[in-house]
Amino acid sequence: MKGWTVTEIGTGPQLCTDLPEPQPGPGEVQLRIEGCGLNFADLLMIEGRYQDTPAPPFVPGMEVCGRVTAQGEGVSAPALGARVAVFGGAGGLAEMGCFPAERCVAVPEKMPSDVAAGFLVAYSTSHVALAHRARLRAGERLVVLGAAGGVGLTAVELGARMGAEVVAVARGAAKLEVARAAGAAHLIDAEVPDLRDRLRALGGADVVYDAVGGTAFEAAFRATNPGGRILVIGFASGDVPQIKANHLLVKNIDAMGVYWGGYLRFAPEVVTDSIAALMAMYERGDIAPHISHVLPLERAPDGLELLRTRRSTGKVVVTP
């Protein structure tokens, strides 16, 4: 089969055309992959900077949609031929892959495979962050940093549907228009020199959703209202901000880390319940996933570069 492999951390993946077809172990299913959703974490993993980076050689690609072609020992579901989405952590940028059966989620018939391939991580990260961690309430002001990115755009969409007044912060008019279409009530270019003042002029932030870090985090933190909550999602800027604990104390602010993959180990029911709720929302037409690029397997590095240079909006999906 064809697939991309990382043979040395930091060197980038290489396309191989003669990889052995993986065989499912106990508790696994083999999938013929129909789509792989790319995530910023894939870049970190390739560079060896992700918290769950496997030892090389490995096939990158954290989440996929595909059809079950074989079952490992002890597996009775999902059935052969079933179309499922799954977060496997790696293994997605190939024609075939093996993934834990217990993580597989049935894909609604009306959901295209490219949508399903990029659905789980972005939507459930935002859903868990906003509903489970921050307990976002209708009428609160939600500031989303990196509002046109893979997770940021889902935060805008879900926040608006939860009744929040969403402030989208993204770079450039085109990205801000994507955020507006997803439900943002206010748009602020990330390049403005006075982000803190702009946020304060709107009344400050009750909840901050930050997948960016750096100076944007610092500005939003200083504009957070007393009793507010800050959701630390990631650091796409490459700059991990330092939080002054005395400011948390004086303003009664909660800083909350959200590592979606961690829930799969210590509280998997949080993710299971979140995905079930999101699939129901999709089937009702309450959410509309945004994919800016669908690329063939051979162009997977182009997709990763789109993420690296922040030239995509929503999701980038690779289809073998």
Q: What is the pLDDT of residues 29-48, one digit of tens each?
A: 999 999 999 999 999 999 99
Express each pLDDT in 77-100 by its tens digit.
999 999 999 999 999 999 999 999
User: For residue 250, what are the contacts with CB-CB under 8 A and spacing of at least 6?
Assistant: none
Whole-structure pTM value: 0.96
User: For residue 37, what are the contacts with CB-CB under 8 A and spacing of at least 6?
Assistant: 62, 63, 64, 92, 117, 118, 119, 120, 121, 122, 315, 316, 317
What gap in Å lies between CA 44 and CA 47, rounded to an integer? 5
Nearest by Cα to 127 from 233, 21, 241: 233
The type of residue at 176 is L
Residue ranges of domains in the chain? 3-119+289-319, 122-261
What gap in Å lies between CA 63 and CA 318, rounded to an integer? 11
Mean pLDDT throughout 250-268? Answer: 96
> Are 182 and 264 a contacting pair, CB within 8 Å?
no
Rounded to the nearest 5 degrees, what angle is found at the Cα of 275, between the Cα atoms of 271 and 281? 150
**259: burial class by Cβ within 10 Å (0-12, 13-18, 19+)?**
middle
> Are 184 and 178 a contacting pair, CB within 8 Å?
no
What gap in Å lies between CA 196 and CA 190, rounded to an integer? 11
Judging by DSSP bridges, how do beta strands 315-319 and 291-296 pair with one another? parallel
Percent over 70 (pLDDT), the chain: 100
- Going by pLDDT thresholds of 50, 70 and 90, the confidence category of residue 270 is very high
3-class DSSP state of 135 = coil
Mean pLDDT throughout 230-257? Answer: 95
Q: What is the pLDDT of residue 260?
A: 96
DSSP state of 1: -
Q: What is the pLDDT of residue 55?
A: 94
| Terminal alpha carbon distance of the chain | 10
User: The domain 122-261 is classified under which CATH number: 3.30.540.10, 3.40.50.720, 3.30.565.10, 1.10.510.10?
Assistant: 3.40.50.720
Q: Phi and psi at residue 312, in whole multiples of 5°?
A: -105, 165
Q: What is the pLDDT of residue 213?
A: 96
- Beta strands in 186-247, from DSSP E residues, in sequence order: 186-189, 205-210, 224-232
Mean pLDDT throughout 112-141? Answer: 98
- Going by pLDDT thresholds of 50, 70 and 90, the confidence category of residue 297 is very high
- 10 Å Cβ neighbour count for 121? 23
Judging by DSSP bridges, how do beta strands 28-38 and 63-71 pair with one another? antiparallel
Mean pLDDT throughout 121-126? Answer: 98
Nearest by Cα to 98 from 124, 121, 75, 125: 75
Q: What is the pLDDT of residue 106?
A: 97
User: The domain 3-119+289-319 is classified under which CATH number: 3.90.180.10, 3.30.465.10, 3.30.420.40, 3.50.50.60?
Assistant: 3.90.180.10
Q: What is the pLDDT of residue 47?
A: 94
What gap in Å lies between CA 201 and CA 124, rounded to an integer? 31
- 10 Å Cβ neighbour count for 102? 14
